[in-house]
């Protein structure tokens, strides 16, 4: 049995046996029952995933996976692929959107080179896990080999293994010019949706370019004939190295019982692959937001996830994940810091007030 299969076998379902006990805790706080809505839901989910009763979230990391895509040869993006390494360097300097929002919520950003067509110098905050210098053009053949796909997924799992000590919360992010094209192909194959229904404008392409993008996705699916029941086959034929790394990170989060806040369209493509490899990972995922990308809703439905936010975001990088992390932490703080009726001397039922 190879390492990936071992990981898939070891993942356990979220233990829900403490659900009622945590609900009693939440209901004892100085508020009407359920009045903090999804913040209470997040607190409960966090406790169930981690097995902790009154957790404190201190160590938060957003992993931003980067990779280039051969399909950019087909003019599917508004920007040239040279932007991928340029943005990675921007992340490392702390100047990108994800850096700003990560600082805002007190999270670290770790950038992961999964397959950028550029040689980066070793730098603090950079993990070089390069599988190749970008994928091949999926419109002409498989984006990568099965062996490369598996190695890329394992790289994501290994990152969780490396950073798991004291890690309270994970977030996903991405960077890769052209990567909405493989993401649309992945959701189309796995869910059976027509590519036209799940393909958006990515970086902001015009109508003609969008029609071309849809045609390229249809061509890639026809040329490669990926098996919708074999997630690794789908990943290898129409995926991306950074998408594979995200899939691995989600699997690693489930393996080590760490909640993972999944960002937008590309990150959710990775989560979709992870959940097809082992459906139990759905219990460990927190969907940060609903992206503008039209295929994202289909992905979230397939993963049985209700997004926390809908802010018309479409940047990626982990920006939505950062905001989602702040809400998870808010829910956990409510559970840990809010006074109970008994401690505050507040009556928790109308009858008690009348008796007094």
Residues serving a catalytic function are 317
Compute the C-alpha angle 258/41/263, nearest 5°. Answer: 55
Q: What's the CA gap between 60 and 235, in Å, rounded?
A: 28
**Strand boundaries in 34-74, DSSP class E:** 60-67
Contacts of 329 (CB under 8 A, 6+ apart): 57, 60, 105, 169
Provide φ and ψ at 17, rounded to 5°: -65, -20
Provide φ and ψ at 287, rounded to 5°: -80, 120
Q: Quick one: tokens of 98?
A: 């994800």
Strands 108-115 and 260-262, by their bridges, are unpaired
Q: What's the CA gap between 201 and 206, in Å, rounded?
A: 7
Q: What 3-state DSSP class applies to 140?
A: coil
Q: Where are the alpha helices (DSSP H) in 256-318?
A: 265-277, 296-303
Strands 60-67 and 285-287, by their bridges, are unpaired
Q: Name beta bridge partners: 115.
A: 67
Q: Quick one: tokens of 261?
A: 């806040």
- CA torsion angle 311 314 318 320 (round to 10): 10
Q: What 3-state DSSP class applies to 172?
A: strand
Q: What's the CA gap between 247 and 272, in Å, rounded?
A: 8
Q: Give the neighbor-by-neighbor strand order of the sheet with 285-287.
A: 126-128, 108-115, 60-67, 169-175, 260-262, 285-287
CB atoms within 10 A of CB 108: 14
């Amino acid at each position: 049995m190879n390492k990936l299969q071992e990981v898939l076998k070891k993942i356990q379902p979220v233990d829900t046996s403490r659900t009622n006990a945590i609900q009693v805790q939440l209901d004892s706080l100085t508020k009407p029952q359920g009045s903090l809505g999804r913040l209470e839901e997040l607190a409960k989910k966090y406790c169930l995933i981690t097995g902790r009763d009154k957790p404190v979230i201190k160590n938060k990391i957003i992993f931003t996976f980067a990779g280039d895509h051969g399909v950019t040869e087909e003019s599917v993006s508004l920007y040239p692929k040279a932007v991928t390494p340029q943005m990675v360097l921007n992340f490392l300097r702390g100047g990108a959107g994800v850096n700003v929002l990560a600082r805002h919520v007190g999270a670290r950003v770790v950038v992961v080179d999964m397959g950028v067509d550029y040689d980066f110098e070793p730098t603090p905050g950079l993990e070089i896990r390069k599988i190749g210098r970008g994928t091949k053009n999926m419109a002409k053949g498989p984006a990568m080999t099965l062996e490369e796909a598996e190695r890329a997924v394992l790289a994501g799992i290994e990152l969780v293994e490396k950073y798991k000590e004291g890690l309270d919360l994970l977030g996903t992010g991405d960077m890769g010019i052209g990567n909405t094209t493989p993401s649309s192909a992945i959701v189309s194959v796995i869910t059976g949706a027509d590519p036209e229904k799940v393909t958006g404008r990515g970086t902001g392409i015009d109508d003609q370019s969008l029609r071309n993008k849809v045609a390229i996705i249809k061509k890639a699916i026809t040329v490669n004939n990926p098996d919708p029941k074999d997630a690794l086959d789908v990943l290898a034929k129409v995926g991306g190295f950074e998408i594979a790394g995200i899939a691995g990170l989600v699997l690693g989060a489930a393996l080590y019982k760490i909640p993972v806040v999944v960002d937008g369209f590309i990150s959710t493509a990775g989560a979709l692959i992870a959940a097809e490899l082992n459906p139990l990972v759905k219990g460990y995922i927190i969907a940060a937001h609903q992206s503008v990308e039209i295929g994202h809703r289909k992905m979230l439905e397939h993963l049985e996830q209700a997004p926390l936010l809908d802010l018309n975001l479409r940047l990626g990088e982990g920006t939505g994940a950062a905001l989602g992390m702040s809400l998870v932490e808010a829910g956990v703080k409510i559970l840990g810091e809010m006074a109970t009726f008994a401690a505050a001397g507040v009556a928790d039922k109308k009858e008690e007030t009348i008796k007094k």
